[in-house]
Amino acid sequence: MNDPAEKAWHKLDNAAKIFPPTSRKSDTRVFRLSCELLEPVDGNLLQAALDRSIDVFPSFQYILKRGMFWYYLEHSNFRPLASEEDKPPCSTMYLESKKLLFDVTWYRKRINLEVYHALTDGTGALQFLKTLVLHYLKLVHPDVMSSVTGIDYDASESQKMTDSFNKYYDWSKVVRKPKKPVAYQLKGAKETEWRFKIIEGTVSTKALLHKAHEYNATVTVFLTALLMQAISDKMSIRDRMKPVVISIPVNLRNFFDSKSTLNFFSIVDVKYDSTSGDTLEDIVKAIKENFAERLNEEHLQNRLNKLLRLEHNFFVRLIPLALKNLFMSAAYSISMREITASVSNLGRVHMPDEAAPYIRLFDAFTSTRTLQICTCSYEDNTNISFTSPFINSDIQCSFFRRLREMGIAVEITANSLRETPSKPLQGGRINENL
């Protein structure tokens, strides 16, 4: 039997199948992970580090191709090139272009990894970025970093290329769930040229943990509750007839044994029926109850089975790709009516101790059709990134003001969207007082 890592092509995993049919200029389905160093990036050494890193991750050397019935990934001999950032964040990178499905760029002190979601999820991309940063630091500071062997990620090539959705699919167990209600939808004027607003807040990890524990909550629950409260601030009485629903990606590797660098995540929706005067304690309690019901192996297994059962249906498999694209695009648009916003927490980023003197923080954000928070922590810096297609930033302002009112200092940065159309948006980040 051939090693999966040696195949010339691979089927898209179950989560990846939705991305090609639903990719648009308004939502490219591209996400970015970044590492901000404490010194300017040397582009030549970054390229050398990238040359070393790509050999460790065989799945990153695949390109997307269109078949008669499904999209698939085809192995290529293309080598990635690191470049100075010169286009808007999370720009289009998909569909049969003879190009890899990720980009590595730098801007001043930041190393950026942008990935098309059909290739991998946040966990897989983070492993790649950590490896890239480590190789880069070993080249820049060989005297200090020479003894460091690698990141804490012990996986063979076949394990990295495993489709964990198929591995854990159990066709005999599918429980039907009731139809979800239509959620409250954010509305407003949108940015031009399909750009989106990025507002990031950097806070002390210790201070954030301490405050979350005061509410007997995890950081994810605490931040989700704050977002719900910030959204509630702008809702009219009529709006409150619909629930606020926050979509939260869940890393299935925490529930099922997997070291795959392909997509392996699920979605948990948490709902709150907003009424005037609700306290943060009320919202935290409701979210925890939602998590207790949905964030467990039984619920996640059922959702996995339900999605895979449709994919394995004989008649569905015979539908031509063009029709599948129409059906999946329509289904995705309907599903978007069931959520208000999203929160994604990549958790703590661990790097070797020797690297700590050279790294300030890691951050993440993604393209979106609505409002999304991405957050991750490194040492005592937790970065909370909002992305939104809307011009109005009242929700972001309310969110960060609540943190400040709780005594948590917030350093705010944002991208500048007021450049002239002929001048591309570089990683341009400006300080703003919200």
Quote the number of domains for the chain: 2
* pLDDT for res 369: 92
Query: Is 369 inside any structural domain?
Result: yes
Provide the CATH number for the domain around residue 112.
3.30.559.10
Query: Is 86 inside any structural domain?
Result: yes
Mean pLDDT of the chain: 88
Residues 357, 393 within the same domain: yes
Residues 150, 285 within the same domain: no
Query: Is 176 inside any structural domain?
Result: no
3-class secondary structure for the chain? CCCHHHCCEEECCCCHHHHHHHCECCECCEEEEEEEECCCCCHHHHHHHHHHHHCCCHHHHEEEEECCCCEEEEECCCCCCEEECCCCCCCCCCCCCCCCCEEEEEECCEEEEEEECCCCCHHHHHHHHHHHHHHHHHHHCHHHHCCCCCCCCCCCHHHHCCCHHHHCCCCCCCCCCCCCCCCCCCCCCECHHHCCEEEEEEEEHHHHHHHHHHCCCCHHHHHHHHHHHHHHHCCCCCHHHCCEEEEEEEEHHHCCCCCCCCCCEEEEEEEECCCCCCCHHHHHHHHHHHHHHHCCHHHHHHHHHHHHHHHHCHHHHHCCHHHHHHHHHHHHHHHHCCCCEEEEEEEECCCCHHHHHHEEEEEEEECCCCEEEEEEEECCEEEEEEEECECCCHHHHHHHHHHHHCCCCCEEEEECCCCCCCCCCCCCEEECCC
Query: Is 405 inside any structural domain?
Result: yes
Last residue of a domain, one of 111, 133, 167: 167
Query: Is 172 inside any structural domain?
Result: no
Last residue of a domain, one of 167, 184, 207: 167
Residues 157, 206 within the same domain: no
Query: Is 124 inside any structural domain?
Result: yes
Provide the CATH number for the domain around residue 220.
3.30.559.30
Residues 145, 286 within the same domain: no
Residues 137, 253 within the same domain: no
Lowest mean pLDDT among 94-98, 188-192, 229-233: 94-98
Lowest mean pLDDT among 88-102, 214-228, 259-273, 335-349: 88-102
Q: Work out the average pLDDT over 321-344.
A: 93
Q: Is the pLDDT of residue 276 over 60?
A: no
Query: Is 38 inside any structural domain?
Result: yes
Last residue of a domain, one of 121, 151, 167: 167
* pLDDT for res 148: 83
State which residues form the domain around 133: 4-167
Lowest mean pLDDT among 150-164, 272-286, 390-404: 150-164
* pLDDT for res 433: 40
Residues 265, 359 within the same domain: yes
Bigger pLDDT: 210 vs 181: 210
